[in-house]
Structure 1
Amino acid sequence: MSARLPENPAPLTQALDACRHRDPEGFHRLRQAVAPAMLATALHFVQDVRQSEDVVHDTLLLAWLNAGRFAADDLPPGSWLFTILGSRLHSQLEALAGRPPSAPRAVPTGLQGQALWTLAHGLEPRPPSASLGDRLTESLLARLAAPQLPRTPTGELVHPPLYDARLRRKMLTSRLAYQAKEGFKRRLGRPLEEWAFRRWLAQRSVGQWLEAQGLPRRSVEAALGDRLDLEVNPGRLVRCMSYPDAFPDRTERRKASNLFLWSGDWDLPHHSLADSSRTRFIQDLWTHRLEPSRSETFRRLEQQREQGRPLRSHHKGMLLDSRERILEYLRLYLLYMENMACFGFDKHEGKDRLGVTIDRHGRIIKTNKGLHRLAMAQVLGLSEITVRVRSVHRQWWQRHAGDAKGRDALERVAQALPECVPA
């Protein structure tokens, strides 16, 4: 590997552009160009070879995964790469000091990209070990192999180290069933919904009946688009809903997931996000990020494995039947968190938007979509995330729609949404 950082930004820009197009040669050139300087920089702060190599591994992998975000007109490539390093170092140093994440999250000036890039030029480069090189190669190959494997029922890529061929049949069967169901909706269900919704917008026959039923959620989303998105402080989002408690009747529960207007007392039961299993999982994992094997989550998953019932999910395409797979599963979540810590909350990541509902008083309550990502944002101390309104209480709708009907009612409600605040 070359010893010194390139003075000309062109090689790094070209390597990042190759990474953007998922060319492994670009990743190799990136490793050669910056890994020795990054390792020297990490050692300057952490002073432990293994931990410093963990930092560099994650930094380069995050650069590969996010190369599409890089814009040479906004930031020199060296500063961009060392900004990722600074964010990852900040997490490491907080963990070593035993400090909880600062809220709002802020990387200290001395760890920001340009400062680290300047510092690295004055340090003696440190050649990465063979084990770090092997880890980087394995991580890259895993990402490149994912498109060749069966997808989850809803079409997401699996993480190859967690995939097992024994899941293949059930994954393919579930994928076909999901595609058949979605195909039926696309060819018959959605056209009927859209036909009725257009009549409601124009205040024609069928419209009044459709509003009484609750209005089709997907049609409202198609009509309002990003106007259903709200920017909120994740730390203030403390209430969530339980579908079984909100809709004890299973038929009503299934129906509600397709409607935008919810009637009744579904918003009265109170559930705290702090008590949710997702929040406990993310908090436990982040607390033990230096040694995931010491987490309660690892202990529980390892116990399940030893008892002959390892965590198995064809919906996620994973089988945690070894210690190595359990640790890889936990490290994958930690990488998600490092990605969010560095680049912020991306509303387009994940298979679903981070869904919320509006109660009768205009307060925001979390639904069951995106609970892991919300927990990550809360634990990391992010100052802002984007949530998508999936439904509203009928009383709130009526209060803001007033005597308006159809398109006018929808417009009034859309204008009122930004006034909603977390419960």
Structure 2
Amino acid sequence: MNMENKGLAIYQPYGHRLPTVKVSATMNNDTHTAPKGRTSLGAWTMCQTWRHLPVGAARRLEPLLECSAVTRVFPQATWMTVNPRSVRRRLIKPEACSRARRRKFFLKEPKGWRKADFRESYQYRLIQDIWEHQVDLAGSSVYQELLGGIRRGKAFHHRTGRRHFVVDTEEGLFDDMSGYLKIMQGMQADGYRIDAAPNELTVTVAANGELLATSGGKRRLAMAQVLGLTRTPTRISHMRSAWARNHARDAREPACEALMRVMQTFPGGSLA
């Protein structure tokens, strides 16, 4: 996949500039874009310290590392091309989980966290129903369900990146679902484009190496599965610490080398 100067917001993870400095770059099979967004200088410094420690000493800092900092310092190691159909389940975070805990890259034994079939999620049902009724969107069961809620005064809410949308009219609902259909038609014609969405498709690596869908890009993951795509660029946003430790050579290996090597031999995909 070649993409030249698409105007993406890209960070320079290994330079001397602060992480909030945006640069442009060329992306090909050997060079990868850092994730969009910003991270604090403190989190960035913590991650830079972690990357120079051996695995044994680095484990003390693992609970403090934020996912945004790790994915910026290691943009290549956390950027994978996977078969979307290999993501069969999703990770459901407990309501009592604090926002600070959700931001951590390495996950310990997650109490109260559940795994559920991704195809049973609302996002997958929505996308599948839209595609099956693309000739008559108003005839889909999800459309009728949402329309019934709007008529009862219950608006339809959804998020795209950091933007929050409220759909409270029949016209707005039809336009919203038509927009999803248009994205799917473009994806079918041109493949999965990482520059066509405000945020990345993200997954979590479970303790057994299984890929679990997270909150980032669930609708686009559903689109890729419904359309039968075989390759989608994916960001590893979280990882069970147990899985990473089981694949590290020993406690003397530098933490950054261990992470990159582990991800390069990842069983569920290949480096993008």
TM interval, shorter chain, is 0.7 to 0.9
TM-score by length of 2: 0.74
Asked if structure 2 preserves the Cα contact closer than 8 Å seen for 1:234 and 1:382, the reply is yes
d(CA) in 2 for partners of 1:368, 1:410: 26
Supply the distance in 1 between the matched residues of 2:157 and 2:50 (Cα, whole angstroms). 45
* 8 Å Cα contact 2:244/2:262 also seen in 1: no
- How many Å apart are 1:298 and its aligned residue? 1.8
Cα deviations across residues 63-84 of structure 1 (Å, max 9, x unaligned)? Answer: xxxxxxxxxxxxxxxxxxxxxx
2:220 to 352, 369, 373: 373
What count of residue pairs does the alignment treat as equivalent? 229
Q: 2:74 aligns with which of 206, 210, 224?
A: 224
CA contact (8 A) 2:46 2:65 kept: no
Q: By percentage of residues, which structure has more strand?
A: 2
Q: 2:129 aligns with which of 271, 284, 287?
A: 284
Report if aligned partners of 1:305, 1:320 keep a CA contact under 8 Å in 2.
yes
Q: C-alpha offsets along residues 231-283 of structure 1, whole Å, 9 cap, x if unaligned?
A: 11112221111011xxx6423xx223221111114698431111111111111
Identity over the aligned pairs, expressed in percent? 22
Structure 2 counterpart of 1:277, one-letter code: Y
The one-character-per-residue Cα deviations of 1:95-151 (angstroms, maximum 9, x if unpaired) are xxxxxxxxxxxxxxxxxxxxxxxxxxxxxxxxxxxxxxxxxxxxxxxxxxxxxxxxx
CA deviations on 1:373-401 (whole Å, 9 max, x unpaired) are 00001111112111110111111121223
Deviation, structure 1 residue 422: 4.6
The whole-number CA distance in structure 1 between the counterparts of 2:64 and 2:247 is 16
RMSD: 2.9
Deviations 1:312-350 (A, max 9, x none): 5694344332x3222211111100100111111112332
* Secondary structure in structure 2 of the residue aligned to 1:388: strand
Q: 2:181 aligns with which of 334, 337, 352?
A: 334
Establish whether residue 309 from structure 1 lines up as the match of residue 158 from structure 2: no
Rounded to whole Å, the distance in 1 between the matches of 2:182 and 2:265 is 34
Q: CA contact under 8 A between 1:234 and 1:383: conserved in structure 2?
A: yes
Alignment partner of 2:235: what SS? Answer: strand
- Contact 1:216–1:259 (8 Å) recurs in 2: yes
Which ranges of structure 1 fall in alignment gaps of 5 or more residues?
A: 1-19, 21-181
Greater fraction of residues in helix: 1
Paired amino acid for 2:215: N
Larger RCO (alpha carbons 8 Å, 6+ apart): 2
Correspondence for 1:215: 65
Q: Which amino acid aligns with 2:91?
A: M
Q: 2:199 & 2:264 partners in 1: Cα distance?
A: 21
- Aligned position for 1:239: 89
Distance 1:324 1:368, change over 3 A: same
Superposed displacement of residue 285, structure 1: 1.0
Does residue 417 of structure 1 match 2:263?
A: yes
Q: Residue 15 of structure 2 corresponds to which residue in structure 1?
A: none
Gaps of 5+ in 2: 1-5, 7-36
Give the deviation of 1:405 after TM superposition. Answer: 5.5
Q: Distance in 1 between matches of 2:116 and 2:109?
A: 17
> 1:109 aligns to what?
none
